[in-house]
Amino acid sequence: MAAKEAAMFGKAMAALALIMGTAGAAGAIELRNLDQVDHTVRITSPTLDKEYEFRGWTRSLVICVDGCTLEVAGVGRVEANKDDIVTIEDGRVTVRHADE
């Protein structure tokens, strides 16, 4: 019986590793609106295409799979990946990449 349980445990661990590896492609991008005004942001990724209203002086986390394009209406567009920080400030949009 112990050998059968060990084999099942091994299969469960292999499945967990596969799930963790797949989940590694998704991550959070921090979006900071440091302007006093609200901004409409279109977020596009392989799994998402939606517009959101971000109030002035707020921060939000955006979950993206395989990176996102964030387009701030009337301001600009940036490409971001997990752990990046996207900032809207003084009418400009910038991205600080996690690996910088």
Q: What is the pLDDT of residues 48-97, one digit of tens each?
A: 899 999 999 999 999 988 899 999 999 999 999 999 999 999 999 999 99
Q: Considering the domain boundaries, does residue 11 fall inside one?
A: no
In order of 4, 16, 86, the CA distances from 7 in angstroms are 5, 14, 46
**Does residue 16 belong to any structural domain of this protein?**
no
How many structural domains does the chain have?
A: 1
The answer to whether position 20 is within a domain reads no
Between CA 54 and CA 31 the distance in angstroms is 9
Q: Which domain holds residue 70?
A: 27-96
Strand bridging mode 26-33 / 92-96: unpaired
Distance, in Å, from the CA atom of 38 to the CA atom of 72, rounded to the nearest integer, reads 10
pLDDT number for residue 27: 86
Q: By C-alpha distance, which of 59, 24, 55, 29 is closest to 44? A: 29
- Does the residue 56 lie in any domain? yes
Q: Give the pLDDT band of residue 2 (cuts 50, 70, 90).
A: low
Is there a contact between 44 and 69 (Cβ–Cβ < 8 Å)?
yes
| pLDDT reported for residue 96 | 96
pLDDT tens by residue, 8-59:
444 444 443 433 344 445 789 999 999 999 999 999 998 889 999 999 999 9
For 26, residues 6+ apart whose C-beta sits below 8 A from its C-beta are 63, 64, 65, 66, 82
Is the residue at 86 inside a domain? yes
Residue 57 included in any domain: yes
Q: How confident is the model at residue 100 (pLDDT cuts 50, 70, 90)?
A: confident
In a domain, 53, yes or no: yes
pTM over 0.95: no
